[in-house]
Structure 1
Amino acid sequence: MRRTLLLCFIHGFKGGADTFGARSKFSEDLRQRVAQALPLVDVRIAVYPTYETRGDLAACVARFTEWLLEKVIDLEVAARTPSPTVDPSVHCVLIGHSMGGIVAADALLTLAGDRRVGGDEETLAGELNALMFPYIQGVLGFDTPYLGIAPGVVAHGAEGQYAAATAALTQISGLTDAIWGNKSKGSEEGASSSRATKKSTTVLPAANEQTTAATTSRAASTSLGWGWGKIAMVAGAGAIASGAVMAAATAAYQRREHLTEGWTWATSHLEFVNCLARGEVLRARMARMTEAGQQLSIGFGNLYTQLGKAAAAEAQKRNAAMMHGARNGQNAGGRGSPLRALLPAGERTFCNLPSGQTPAGVWRPAINDAATDETWAHMSMFDPAQNPNYNTLLRDAGNMIVQWTRGSAWYVGAHVTPAPP
């Protein structure tokens, strides 16, 4: 009986085929790596279809568990397994990105006969069921916030939003100055010509609009050496000024999604049944997963993103800009920024990391030397073009799965049989 190791991929918040599946290179690369290291079994992929990442977490876990059960039953029937619940031919490794890792952990605990984590106030305790079906060999999270999202994700996102908004206001203010001549030499001269024009308009008959326009144009052209008056004669000063202001406002409006992307993404993440905001539930899940590893020899790990060289260079550049702005009396996220005190020092990660007192399986960093913020690193970790350490991530993930599987009695007892004719 040929045995099968099924790698089950679960995408995270707003994920889909771009994370795992037909448009994902990572899932197939990982399968090939694991298959080379585990020649006694077939290694296959099952990608959970795009699902709604909002609503009740328990309902989401129930739907995933039902889908997984159907997949495994089909494989067991095809393999003609005599007793799939006692001696299954299929073992599964649940692989989840971001919130998908929480779905995977809760699915394991559900299949092992545990009560739903966070479902009641009773203390989770007792033996887990080793005869679960489908059988889960391990749970591997990719940047899953098992202990919540790191404060730096919000702090840096807010700082970036503050700095960008300040810069945008400065640009619009500068544009207004250029148009109306405020607080500059051109402004003073423009004001003088305006007063002169107003005086001329007062003595001229109200009906003589041509003479008034000509006087205005000559006065403006004389006071502004770069020929604003000539442009005004052709297009109309009011139309140009209105168009310029409108263009600036439009540009700022169009950038609103970009400016708030990181902040909105982080806060929207918390809307997924608010489980990330309940520290006691997060810790209970980690404790129970650790017990599952001890009682059932089930692997559990998390490869979390960590910023590298690009973020360090960006920080140096930003600090230099802050110092320059401070010397020039500006406040674009500099020393006077109200968010400066919120910026954490040291390593920047998307996930809260476990302390030495928190049992949480195996956690390893997945450094991204190209990303300059935590959200970028989190969302691009499976893209070789945006993650220079893609191969390292692939190696670490493969090694974890191989380690959890190779020493198991299920794998040791596997043997190769000829394929049916």
Structure 2
Amino acid sequence: MRRTLLLCFVHGFKGGADTFGARSQFSQDLRQRVAQALPRVDVRVAVYPTYETRGDLAACVARFTEWLLEQVIDIEVAARTPSPTVDPSVHCVLIGHSMGGIVAADALLTLAGDRRVGGDEETLADELNALMFPYVQGVLGFDTPYLGIAPGVVAHGAEGQYAAATAAFAQITGITDALWGKKGGESSSAAAAKKPVAALPAAERSTTTTTSSSSSSGWGWGKIAMVAGAGAIASGAAVAAATAAYQHREQLTEGWTWATSHLEFVNCLARGEVLRARMARMTEAGQQLGTGFGNLYTQLGKTAAAEARKRNAAVTNDSKNGGGRGSPLAGLLPAGERTFCNLPSGQTPAGVWKPAVNDAATDETWAHMSMFDSAQNPNYNTLLWDARDMIVQWTEGSAWYAGSHVTTTTAAH
């Protein structure tokens, strides 16, 4: 029986159909190279459809594993495999970009019977299940923050983000002052008592809950409409702010819901102990089950290095000429050390991590988002070959691969 290696691609936070290049070109290019290197098996691609990256991570993992099961069952039924759970004709490699790599890792551990994944239970199964179905040959992350997002992602973008954040805060302040009735002589504490608890700093929430619940109980878009129409008694700026808020009330409400629900999905990145535990358990899976695990992480290259040299030279000249304090970014990490992901230390078991240098990107976020775009990533082909090599290494030496019968024709997928 000719066996099937299924490459399953999982996009990341708010990704979609074009995450892996236009019309998923990267997935097809990788399939072609893997098929050439593994001629004994039929290599296929399955791209997980656009999904809701919201709510609890465990729920996302459950939906993905259900979809994966359906894909594999269809292939096993078509192949008339006698015993797919004991001797499957399909092995899967789960390939995730960004947060999709965390979904993929948790899917493997869930299928292998680890009860810790996606929850707070402390009890583990000491031995993982080698008879997992579907069978996962390995997990390959592309710029997945398995150990969190590197601090430089924020630091190197702070200069541009500060101005935007300041402007946004000013707009929000204008709207909230109008909505909650704050007047020029009113104290901040009195105004805060009229705001919803969610709008207050964390330290103030506990002492303001009761007051704000009663004082804001009558708040709603009706009050905004009242403020927006009160041109005779309100300032022009307040009226303009309230009018804009009211006219875009649906978008604002949807935006707030979007932000809060999606933060649930990514909050796992703030739990360092869980991130490290996941890495340790993936290493155990490799030792017990022989499954592969790797991460190809973006790293800035030539263009970012050239821009850094120009920026530092400008700061130096400014200082010599008695100018201002210069750019707050001066002296930060050199381009060759700027990554989107935190990298493992020598003490952290983490599988195989390899840099994917982008010589065109000028910041970490650009490199992260454009790694599958050949027009924006000069090292696109290197990325393909590195991914192919990992998948081939995990597969070609296995008894499963050796047991696949070669046929004279190969179906196109």
Bin the TM-score by the shorter chain.
Answer: 0.7 to 0.9
The aligned counterpart of 1:347 is 337
**Cα distance change, pair 348–49 in 1 and its aligned pair in 2 (3 A):** same
CA distance in 1 between counterparts of 2:164 and 2:338 reads 21
Correspondent of 1:334 among 287, 312, 326: 326
**Cα distance change, pair 98–350 in 1 and its aligned pair in 2 (3 A):** same
CA contact (8 A) 2:58 2:118 kept: no
Deviations 1:383-418 (A, max 9, x none): 111111111100000000001000111001111257
Any residues of structure 2 matched to 1:169-208 within 5 Å, and which? none
Deviations 1:45-83 (A, max 9, x none): 000001122211000000000000001000000000011
The aligned counterpart of 1:388 is 378
- CA shift at 1:19, angstroms? 1.3
**Counterpart residue type for residue 282 of structure 1:** L
The normalised TM-score by structure 2 is 0.72
The aligned counterpart of 2:44 is 44
Which secondary structure does the structure 2 equivalent of 1:30 belong to? helix
The aligned counterpart of 1:235 is none
- CA shift at 1:269, angstroms? 8.3
Which secondary structure does the structure 1 equivalent of 2:298 belong to? strand
**Counterpart residue type for residue 380 of structure 1:** S
**Cα distance change, pair 393–419 in 1 and its aligned pair in 2 (3 A):** closer
CA distance in 1 between counterparts of 2:21 and 2:78 reads 23
The aligned counterpart of 1:99 is 99
The aligned counterpart of 1:89 is 89
The aligned counterpart of 1:408 is 398
CA contact (8 A) 1:3 1:42 kept: yes
Identity over the aligned pairs, expressed in percent? Answer: 87
Correspondent of 1:296 among 285, 289, 310: 289
CA distance in 2 between counterparts of 1:324 and 1:340 reads 12
**Cα distance change, pair 285–364 in 1 and its aligned pair in 2 (3 A):** same
Deviations 1:231-280 (A, max 9, x none): xxxxxxxxxxxxxxxxxxxxxxxxxxxxxxxxxxxx99865340000000
Deviations 1:173-228 (A, max 9, x none): xxxxxxxxxxxxxxxxxxxxxxxxxxxxxxxxxxxxxxxxxxxxxxxxxxxxxxxx
CA contact (8 A) 2:113 2:125 kept: no
- CA shift at 1:286, angstroms? 0.2
CA distance in 1 between counterparts of 2:274 and 2:73 reads 32
Deviations 1:12-31 (A, max 9, x none): 11211111376121100000
- CA shift at 1:165, angstroms? 9.1
CA contact (8 A) 2:55 2:262 kept: no
CA distance in 2 between counterparts of 1:386 and 1:271 reads 31
More moved, 372-381 vs 47-56:
47-56
Instruction: Please tell me whether Structure 1 or Structure 2 has the larger radius of gyration of its CA atoms.
Output: 1
Any residues of structure 2 matched to 1:122-133 within 5 Å, and which? 122-133=122-133
Any residues of structure 2 matched to 1:121-270 within 5 Å, and which? 121-162=121-162
Which secondary structure does the structure 2 equivalent of 1:302 belong to? strand
CA distance in 1 between counterparts of 2:341 and 2:301 reads 15
The normalised TM-score by structure 1 is 0.71
**Counterpart residue type for residue 33 of structure 1:** R
CA distance in 1 between counterparts of 2:109 and 2:19 reads 25
Deviations 1:21-44 (A, max 9, x none): 761211000000000000011000
CA distance in 1 between counterparts of 2:356 and 2:266 reads 27
**Cα distance change, pair 118–398 in 1 and its aligned pair in 2 (3 A):** same
**Cα distance change, pair 164–118 in 1 and its aligned pair in 2 (3 A):** closer
**Counterpart residue type for residue 272 of structure 1:** F
**Cα distance change, pair 328–98 in 1 and its aligned pair in 2 (3 A):** same
Pair 1:360 & 2:345 matched: no
Pair 1:282 & 2:275 matched: yes
The aligned counterpart of 1:210 is none
CA distance in 1 between counterparts of 2:24 and 2:323 reads 45
The aligned counterpart of 1:312 is 305
CA contact (8 A) 1:159 1:340 kept: no
Which secondary structure does the structure 1 equivalent of 2:371 belong to? coil
Which secondary structure does the structure 2 equivalent of 1:6 belong to? strand
CA distance in 2 between counterparts of 1:318 and 1:270 reads 34
Which secondary structure does the structure 2 equivalent of 1:410 belong to? helix
**Counterpart residue type for residue 40 of structure 2:** L
CA contact (8 A) 1:3 1:41 kept: yes
Which secondary structure does the structure 2 equivalent of 1:54 belong to? coil
CA distance in 2 between counterparts of 1:288 and 1:37 reads 29
Which secondary structure does the structure 1 equivalent of 2:391 belong to? helix
Deviations 1:286-330 (A, max 9, x none): 000000000000000000000111110010111122234445555
**Cα distance change, pair 324–271 in 1 and its aligned pair in 2 (3 A):** farther
The aligned counterpart of 2:219 is none
* Alignment RMSD: 2.5
